[in-house]
Structure 1
Amino acid sequence: MYIPAAFRQHDLSQLHGLIRQQPLASLISQAGEGLQACHLPLWLAADEGQYGTLYGHCARANPQWHALAKGAESLAIFTGADGYISPTWYPSKAAHGKAVPTWDYLSVHAYGQAEAFDDAERLLQLLGRLTEQHESPQPQPWAIADAPRAYIDKMLRAIVGFSLPIQRLEGQWKLSQNRSSEDRAGVQQALDASPDAGAQQLAQQMKTMR
């Protein structure tokens, strides 16, 4: 990923934080017939390996798992808050007019070679982790045990799991760091006043950066 120095995020805890907050990844793999991609929620084991290990599963009917099973190079892309930045938000525009629109965003790229597995117990453990991660905020969390075991066993046969040890981890926090402090304040104020939740999240990220 091309990352200008001003936007590069080095903090591992911040990178892991975005992965946990926005777990739906675009998973891209290099296969013999070309690139393959799908969108999957992934679970992060932060303490496995230098940068952590990602776990997920895809439908057995999805041919991409064959590339994963062969150790194809893969890239998982996680995206955080994003939003359009208008040049009218820069105080400097009134002084010299040298401003153009842009887009601010947060993004993490995780690279590695996957290992596929279809062992029922290992799949069940993975599904348990994913379920706990996403059901815990619910008032009455659903659990795998709530469904008949025969039904779960049938579902397990229809999926293939994989682990993706992260070999390279990159993050870009593009939050107008290349602008003056006055322009950044103008952007933050405009984003904060927006009714769009994503814009408000960007404003909060800018406050954190400051």
Structure 2
Amino acid sequence: MYLRAVHAETRLKPLIELIQNNPLGLLSTAISSDNFPLIQHTYIPWVLDPPRNLAALEADGQADRAPVGNVKQPVQGLEGCKLRGHMAKANPHAKAVIEATGPGNGCLPTEVTVSFAAPSQHYISPKWYVQTKPENGKVVPTWNYVAVEVRGTARIFHDKEAVETGQYLQTQVEDLTKLSESRLGYDSTPKAELAVNGQEAGGKGTAWEVGDAPKPYIEIMKKAIIGIEIDITSIVGKWKMSQELKTGDRQGVKDGLRELDDVKSRSVAEIVEMKSNTWRAIVGTCFVAAGTYSGNPIAVAWISTIHGGYTKRSTVYGIQQVFINSFIIMSTQVFDTPPKFYKGNGILLGIFAVAFASTAILYFWLRAENRKRDRAAQARLDGTAPPLPDDIGDFETLCDYHPDWRYPL
């Protein structure tokens, strides 16, 4: 797939999500044969097994935030990442695959590719280039789209006598059915599990299961298909959404798409907006985050210094460190919707609002406490209240427990 740097998407999480949301992929092979064409293609719905280290990447905030590849070096080292599918034996493509692997199950000798595309794609008219077209007329049509290309080694399960073939096909069709039924809103919880727990299916009702069909019928159908398992070695993604255009032309593209006012054009316009305003979104995110840090002198310095005694101050400081470290860990999880980070900034502003309200309450409460102590001291001076006992204790030892203590505001 031709991939310009400006269009490249190399973060792992968006690539995996596109495949999971659009599982129908085009399998392409180049198999030398005297009986079949060299190049063959077949559309297959796939089950994606994510890489085994995906949970660790997400925990570190790397699956969505940090690039794990680039244009020249696509995403690689995807340990355990596989595509699982099947195709009809009657398909000439399947016959060529079987011929290439020999009498038993085995791997194809050449690399295979699978291409996935998102529904967000649209023709882009030169009329929408409102900046360049009036300047020099050097504009041509193009097409905006989103696609992912997977490469890997394919293992073929076609030996009907092998136990692993039956096991692979049974698992693959069950997993594919479960995922597909759940996308329709059906409850894919196994019926046996629901029965044991005495539960009822939620949503639109219980999903169809492979086990709902007669077992002999399923066995006959399995003999009519072959299994394909691709050990993924690389993934590249292309989000071609007018990123290379001038600012005025990008705005014209967005306006032109929105004027069409249909679901597809609106979805493409939203992606163009997201991709074209990345630098503005990043700057805005920095200002939002920096603005909340103005509360740090209050939340950290002031609150810890107004408490008397080393024990109290140490406790306050310790609590602050616990919360700060917790928020640092949390931020890697909530700032996961680039480039504007609505969820992360929303949570950040919410926390800041809570901190501001808490600090304001504390401020007015301490001010009232100071005034109360001022009145008590004045009463002692006026003789309307008894003087402090001689054994009340040292001021520096008692700190805010001493009647003469005032909270610095």
Q: How high is the TM-score relative to the length of structure 1? A: 0.91
Q: CA RMSD in A?
A: 1.9
Residue matched to 2:141? 101
- Pairs aligned (count): 210
Q: What is the aligned partner in structure 2 of residue 11 from structure 1?
A: 11
Q: In the alignment, which residue of structure 1 is the partner of 2:124?
A: 85
Q: Is the 8 A contact 2:87 2:227 kept in 1?
A: yes
Structure 2 gap segments, 5+ residues each:
53-76, 159-164, 185-203, 278-409
1:129: which partner in 2?
Answer: 175
Bigger relative contact order (CA 8 A; separation at least 6): 1
Give yes or no for the alignment of 1:165 onto 2:165: no
Aligned twin of 1:117: 157
| Equivalent residue letter for 2:47 | W
> Are residues 98 and 165 of structure 1, via their aligned partners in 2, closer, same or farther at CA, if it must alter by over 3 Å?
same
Flag the structure with larger Rg: 2
Per-residue CA deviations over 1:54-100 (Å, capped at 9, x if unaligned) read: 11001122214324744232110111221110011122123432321
Equivalents in 1 of 2:96, 2:11: separation in Å? 31
Match of 2:111 among 59, 63, 73: 73
2:183 is paired with a residue whose SS is coil
Q: Distance in 2 between matches of 1:98 and 1:85?
A: 15
Aligned CA distance change for structure 1 residues 10 and 175 (closer, same or farther; 3 Å)? same
Which residue matches 2:347?
none
- 1:129-185: CA deviations, max 9, x gaps? 111111113334221122111111111111111110111211111100000222212
Structure 1 CA distance for aligned equivalents of residues 236 and 124 of structure 2: 23
Does 2:47 match 1:43?
yes
Q: What amino acid sits opposite 1:65 in the alignment?
A: V
Q: Which structure: greater helix fraction?
A: 2
**Partner in structure 2 of residue 202 of structure 1:** 268
Partner in structure 2 of residue 29 of structure 1: 29
Tell me, in whole angstroms, the C-alpha distance in 1 between the residues paired with 2:253 and 2:265: 10
1:178 maps to which residue? 244
Secondary structure at 1:183's aligned position in 2?
helix
Task: Decide whether the 8 Å contact of 1:15 with 1:108 is kept in 2.
Answer: yes
The TM-score, its normalising length taken from structure 2, stands at: 0.48
Using the TM superposition, give the Cα deviation of residue 101 of structure 1 relative to its aligned residue in structure 2, in angstroms: 0.9
Work out the percentage of aligned pairs sharing the same amino acid: 33
The code of the aligned residue for 2:259 comes to A
Q: CA deviation at 1:22?
A: 1.5
